[in-house]
Amino acid sequence: MNLTRRSLLASASGATLLGGLAACGGDSASGDSSAGGGGGGGGGSKDLTIWFMEDSVPQETQDRLKETFESENEGATLTIEVQQWDGIVSKLQTSLASEDESPDVVEFGNTQVALFSSVGALLDISDQEETLGGGDLIQSFIDAGSWEGKLYATPLYAGARVYYYRKDLFAAAGIAEPTSLDELVAAAKALDAANPEGNPDFSGIYMPGADPHTNEGWLFTHGGQYAEQDGDTWKGTLSSPESQAALTQVQDLMLHATKYALDSNENVQAAHQLFNDGKLGIYSALNVAAAKIDQAMWDAGKVAVMALPGLTPGSIGKTFSGGSSIGISANNHNLELSKALLKLIYADDFMTDMAKIGGWIPGRTSFTSALEGPTGSIAQEIIENSVLTPNSPQWGVLDGNNVPRDFWVRIAKGEDVKTVAADLDKTIADALNQS
């Protein structure tokens, strides 16, 4: 197993992945039949374990996957374990390093993949890409799942970040649906001031610092980014003119169009209830959140949905490319069965379920047509315009330590945008340039 970045997690977060991986032995995490610890190759145990994350794969889809896998692979068994997002990086650090405890196939948040592929914890599955979908796979997730020219994880699903809004309140306040980012800012501030229903807890838009992925839509749409790589060197870019324009606009909304700029992470997760209670005019969330909005509001025609607008009228903005990827552990217990399981996940039935039942944009984008509900018509275009955060294992450490969230909270508190950006530029450069 290649451990060329031994200092990565230990120095950045005090984590133990590298020490554990060093004990795994082996020299390769390639996709040939000699790879795969704990019995890898074509033989080994016929009892496989897959880790899915909470709220990712519908239960009936899990049941069907288990039944199909076991019927198609005589004598094999599949154990499906559902993991919680909270604390998952630490759990993966421990489990993937263990020949006994490692799952065979595992789901990751797409920004977490580089953290593990860069230290040899995942199997190189470059030779499986075409079999699993090839050009039909979400390209930005293929980029996120690749490290040094090799593919280690493929897209399981993506969530399109959309904007739900109270079109009845827009009409009452005489505000047209915004077609550009500037118009959206103006609409949110005007709606906040109008407060058509006189609700004392009303805000024009929900824009908390603790929701970085919503705020990143402004950053990416303006052409900004957290960092850029020039050769082997990373540079923080939040002080660029494009990023500064975005940060200034976001802070304007936080200070003048919402009462909830300093909401906690827990409150962010429950923000749909504020929308249902008439306390929000505009609310950004994933497309699957449509099911959390009061059906009576949909039925009454009070709610509509739109993509984040771009800089020019009629264009679509660029939002964070969030979702999950899936890969094979280098410590898998049976390589051939692990590959067979991965193929079943990319089969038509599973991909259809992810869209139709799960409400996600499936890893194979041609199955997005099975997506139902009010966001179905815009979801794929949003994903096609989505943007990733820096594809670096060190970014996974920063993200895991809530550095981006803390940055946006400082913006929400009204701190000087240039100062906050310069601080994070240095933090990012120091972290991402560790070897």
pLDDT at 1 over 50: no
| CA separation for the pair 53, 110 (Å, rounded) | 12
Nearest CA among 25, 28, 102 for reference residue 333: 102
pLDDT at 162 over 60: yes
pLDDT tens-digit readout, 39-56: 444 457 999 999 999 999
pLDDT of residue 260: 99
pLDDT of residue 435: 65
> For the purposes of burial, counting CB atoms within 10 Å of the CB of 386, is it exposed (0-12), middle (13-18) or buried (19 or more)?
buried
pLDDT of residue 157: 98
Task: Give the amino acid at 7.
Answer: S
| Residue 275 exposure: Cα atoms within 13 Å on the Cβ side | 32
Mean pLDDT for the stretch of residues 249-254: 99
pLDDT tens-digit readout, 94-114: 999 999 999 999 999 998 999
| CA separation for the pair 104, 39 (Å, rounded) | 11
**Model confidence at 163, in pLDDT bands (50, 70, 90)?**
very high
pLDDT of residue 87: 87
Mean pLDDT for the stretch of residues 318-345: 97
Note the CATH number of domain 161-320+392-432: 3.40.190.10
| CA separation for the pair 126, 95 (Å, rounded) | 23
pLDDT at 395 over 60: yes
Domain ranges in the chain with CATH number 3.40.190.10: 8-159+321-379, 161-320+392-432
Of 19-28, 242-251, 333-342, minimum mean pLDDT range: 19-28
As a whole-number percent, the residues of the chain with pLDDT over 90 amount to: 84
Q: Does domain 8-159+321-379 have CATH number 3.40.190.10?
A: yes
